[in-house]
Amino acid sequence: MSEQRTGFYEVMVMLSTAVASDLAGAVAHINEIFQRGHAEVVAMRKWDERRLAYEIRGQKRAVYILAYIKAPKGQLAHIERDFRLSEKIMRAMILAAEHMTEDQMRAADARKELEVEAKLRAERAVAPESPAPAPAPAPAAEPAAENA
């Protein structure tokens, strides 16, 4: 039985703003794809949310998730295929992370911040809109003094 060579990879995933409204679910979906590809997530963070240069699937904005993974080289095609087939993911790109050490990747990990943002987005989506404040009543007119 031959041992598969593993390498470190940088993965950029683009999510629509609609999918990113459930950021925890989107991150869980990305992690599930990595698990199916036998990849270990070294670090993950939200990179940015920005306007796209052109529309993709009718979307004008996207949320970018940056992940660093350690994966068997033979599994990369499977991971890329799962990203392409996923309806939740607009685009994904996997590159060899030869420019960084594993320690640098781990230092870039912001999964805790990602969890906090996911909770905030979920709370914002669930919280009912607060009603507009009632207009202040007009000041009462002073009774006219009677002259006797």
Q: What pLDDT shows up at residue 1? A: 41
Q: What pLDDT shows up at residue 25? A: 92
Q: What pLDDT shows up at residue 138? A: 53
Token pair of 71 as six digits: 């994966």
Q: What pLDDT shows up at residue 2? A: 46
SS3 content of the chain, % helix, strand, coil (to 5): 35, 35, 30
Q: What pLDDT shows up at residue 109? A: 82
Q: What pLDDT shows up at residue 61? A: 94
E runs forming strands in 30-139: 40-56, 59-72, 89-96
CA distance 25 to 21: 9
Q: What pLDDT shows up at residue 143? A: 54
Q: What pLDDT shows up at residue 102? A: 84
The domain segmentation of the chain, as residue ranges, is: 6-126
Q: What pLDDT shows up at residue 38? A: 96
Q: What pLDDT shows up at residue 115? A: 82
Residues of the chain with pLDDT under 50: 1-2, 148
Q: What pLDDT shows up at residue 120? A: 84
Class of domain 6-126: alpha beta
